[in-house]
Amino acid sequence: MTIQTLDKTTTISQQQFLLPGHYTWKEFEIIETLTADAAGLRITYLDGYIEFMTLSEQHEMIKTILGFLLELYSCEIGINLIPVGNATRRAKEKNASFEPDESYYIGEKKANPDLAIEINITSGSIDKLEKYKRFNITEVWFWENNQLSLYHLKNDNYEQINQSELLPELDIDLLTTCVLTPSIIDAKTAFIKGIKK
């Protein structure tokens, strides 16, 4: 979000705020309705806790470039990666509602995406893996401090992994380097060259 002033442009940074108190699903739905028109505001609900997040320019830039490279990779090697972006995952019986930054089905559509990606510019308060576990999302990748941390769901718990089990040929270090490359043209060139080795 950008605010125009007389001769200045100010970029608002990403912020997260945990609402004090404990809320029922019904109260969450009321709060969600009241904030529905707030542009650039995300709301997460987990076990009675509500967290708001505003999205910064940096957050959106990393999310978009990471998604672009991942989708480019799937096209180059012939994997049917079905992008569903930040489609809301919500279920009263799971006591959770949230939006990943990017999410994908691999091969075909299922009850829930196989892969979710979350960009964390600032740390939040809600247990980020727990909400994904409720929806049996096989792999969750977190972008934090200019690196990717990968987690794979095994025996109803997430284990940190160094290499994606869903995309075992993907070079995570190359992907990270290319996301951080200032020019998207240079990033694309280096990434394609790297995956064709």
pLDDT, tens only, 37-74: 888 889 999 999 999 999 889 999 999 999 999 999 99
Closest among 51, 63, 29 to 130, alpha carbons compared? 51
Query: What are the extents of the domains in the chain?
Result: 56-195
What mean pLDDT do residues 4-24 have?
65
- What residues have CB less than 8 Å from 29, skipping those under 6 apart? none
pLDDT at position 1 over 90: no
Is residue 5 over pLDDT 60?
Answer: no
Average pLDDT over residues 118-131: 80
Backbone torsions φ then ψ of 23, nearest 5 degrees: -125, 145
Average pLDDT over residues 130-137: 97
pLDDT value of residue 60: 92
pLDDT of residue 119: 93
In the chain, pLDDT over 90 holds for what percent of residues? 81
Which residue's structure tokens are 């972006």?
85
Q: Tell me what the mean pLDDT of segment 142-161 comes to.
A: 96
Tracing tokens 């691999």 back to the chain, one arrives at 106
pLDDT at 16 over 70: yes
Q: How confident is the model at residue 169 (pLDDT cuts 50, 70, 90)?
A: very high
Task: Give residue 17's identity as a one-letter amino acid code.
Answer: F
Q: What pLDDT does residue 184 have?
A: 96
Place of tokens 């705020």: 17
- As its CATH architecture, domain 56-195 has Alpha-Beta Complex (3.90)
Specify the DSSP class assigned to residue 55: P
Q: How many CB atoms lie within 10 A of CB 47?
A: 14
The pLDDT value recorded for residue 145 is 92
Say whether pLDDT at 79 is over 90. Answer: yes
Q: Is the pLDDT reported for residue 158 higher than 80?
A: yes
Strands (E), the chain: 2-4, 9-11, 15-18, 41-46, 49-54, 81-83, 89-91, 96-98, 102-106, 115-119, 139-144, 147-154, 157-161
What distance separates the 2 farthest-apart alpha carbons in the chain?
Answer: 57
Q: Which of 16-20, 85-89, 181-185 has the lowest mean pLDDT?
A: 16-20
Residue 128, Cβ density class (10 Å: 0-12 exposed, 13-18 middle, ≥19 buried): buried
